[in-house]
């Protein structure tokens, strides 16, 4: 079964500074990778996803992520954060073909809580 | 489109009571997912429907949990009897097409507190 690790539970960044949120996955083959954002009191919104092709993926709200197979990582980046980016960010992984078993389904990391300092 | 609709947004109940959470997926979507989010375990997939049929319910924690999808526009997640450890935020999501790799659109969640 696949697993996802988000090593940072909390990250504090000054407004206007750059951001990188880390995500490491464990899966035997090429996974499908996702980043979701959850604003306070809201559901999850998909920021971007990687299936194949270019390893640098552009998403909404100015976010991008880079798939690095050698490091089993899919880190999320933004060159300049805004106060409205304060939220919980979830990395998720899915197998190339969902087999129907719960252990092979979409797996989320525990999340990284982003705090923006003025 | 109104997005995925969940009700209630908040539910407080006492241990032993039956709890029913409701979800209306986005019109035209044929896959529906129920997730549970807790601080300890993060976000977990509970069950997944495709074309109203449960495809995989191995994530459902125990027999006290059940989910139904009587038609394409409605699903319920029921807990009977509820226990304090069931306290969590429960999310419903829907997507177009089968499998997990279609973009899933999440509802706002139902925050359940079992006293």
Taking an 8 Å cut-off on Cβ atoms, the answer to whether A102 and B58 are in contact is yes
CB A92 within 8 A of CB A107: yes
Closest CA relative to residue B88, chosen from B39, B34, B50, B54: B39
Measured in angstroms, the CA of A32 and the nearest CA of chain B are apart by 7
Average pLDDT, chain A: 86
With a pLDDT cut of 90, the percent of chain B lying above it is 58
Residue A103, pLDDT above cutoff 60: no
If pLDDT is split at 50, 70 and 90, which confidence band does A101 have?
very low
Secondary structure class of A108 (helix, strand, coil): strand
Secondary structure class of B30 (helix, strand, coil): coil
Closest CA relative to residue A37, chosen from A117, A94, A114: A114
- According to DSSP, the β-strands at A112-117 and A10-14 are parallel
If pLDDT is split at 50, 70 and 90, which confidence band does A10 have?
very high
Nearest residue on chain A to B47, alpha-carbon basis: A102
- Report the residue of B101, B102, B103, B105 to disrupt the A interface, i.e. the one with the largest count of A CBs within 10 Å: B101
**What are the tens digits of pLDDT across the range A37-84?**
988 767 788 899 888 888 999 999 999 999 999 999 999 999 999 999
- Report the residue of A106, A108, A111 to disrupt the B interface, i.e. the one with the largest count of B CBs within 10 Å: A106
| Cα B6 to Cα A69, A96, A113, distances in angstroms | 37, 29, 24
Please count the other Cβ atoms lying within 10 Å of the Cβ belonging to residue B85.
11
pLDDT of residue A58: 96
Measured in angstroms, the CA of B9 and the nearest CA of chain A are apart by 10
If pLDDT is split at 50, 70 and 90, which confidence band does A99 have?
very low
Closest CA relative to residue B103, chosen from B52, B24, B31: B31
Closest CA relative to residue B50, chosen from B110, B100, B3: B100
Taking an 8 Å cut-off on Cβ atoms, the answer to whether A102 and B45 are in contact is yes
Q: Which residues pair with A91 in a beta bridge?
A: A35
pLDDT of residue B42: 78
Q: What is the dihedral of CA B77, B81, B84, B88, to 10 degrees?
A: 0
| Cα A12 to Cα A18, A21, A40, A83, A118, distances in angstroms | 11, 11, 16, 11, 11
pLDDT of residue A56: 96
CA pair distance B74, A24, nearest whole angstrom: 35
Average pLDDT, chain B: 89
**Any residues with CB less than 8 A from the CB of A55 and at least 6 apart, and which?**
A66, A67, A68, A69
Inform me whether the C-beta atom of residue B58 falls under 8 Å from chain A C-beta atoms: yes
pLDDT of residue B115: 96
Q: What is the full per-residue pLDDT of chain B (115 aa) written as tens digits? A: 578 999 999 999 999 999 999 999 999 998 899 999 887 787 888 998 989 998 878 788 889 999 999 999 999 999 999 999 999 999 999 988 766 666 788 888 999 999 9
pLDDT of residue A102: 37
pLDDT of residue A104: 42
């Amino acid at each position: 079964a696949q697993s996802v690790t988000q090593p940072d539970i909390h990250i504090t960044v000054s407004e206007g500074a750059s951001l990188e949120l880390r995500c490491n996955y464990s899966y035997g083959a090429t996974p499908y990778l996702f980043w979701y954002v959850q604003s306070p009191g809201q559901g999850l919104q998909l920021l971007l996803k990687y299936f194949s092709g270019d390893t640098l993926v552009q998403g909404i709200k100015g976010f991008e992520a880079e798939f690095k197979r050698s490091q089993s990582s899919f880190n999320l980046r933004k060159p300049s954060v805004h106060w409205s980016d304060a939220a919980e960010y979830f990395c998720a992984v899915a197998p190339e073909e969902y087999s129907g078993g719960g252990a092979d389904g979409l797996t989320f990391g525990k999340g990284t809580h982003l705090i923006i300092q003025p | 489109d109104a997005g995925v609709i969940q009700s209630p947004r908040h539910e407080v109940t006492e241990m032993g009571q039956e709890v029913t959470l409701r979800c209306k997926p986005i019109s035209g979507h044929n896959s529906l997912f129920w997730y549970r989010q807790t601080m300890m375990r993060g976000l977990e997939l509970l069950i997944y429907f495709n074309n109203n049929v449960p495809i995989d319910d191995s994530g459902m924690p125990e027999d006290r949990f059940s989910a139904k999808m009587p038609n394409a526009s409605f699903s319920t997640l029921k807990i009977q009897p509820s226990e304090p450890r069931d306290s969590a935020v429960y999310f419903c999501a829907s997507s177009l097409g089968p499998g997990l790799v279609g973009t899933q659109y999440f509802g706002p969640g139902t925050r359940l507190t079992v006293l």
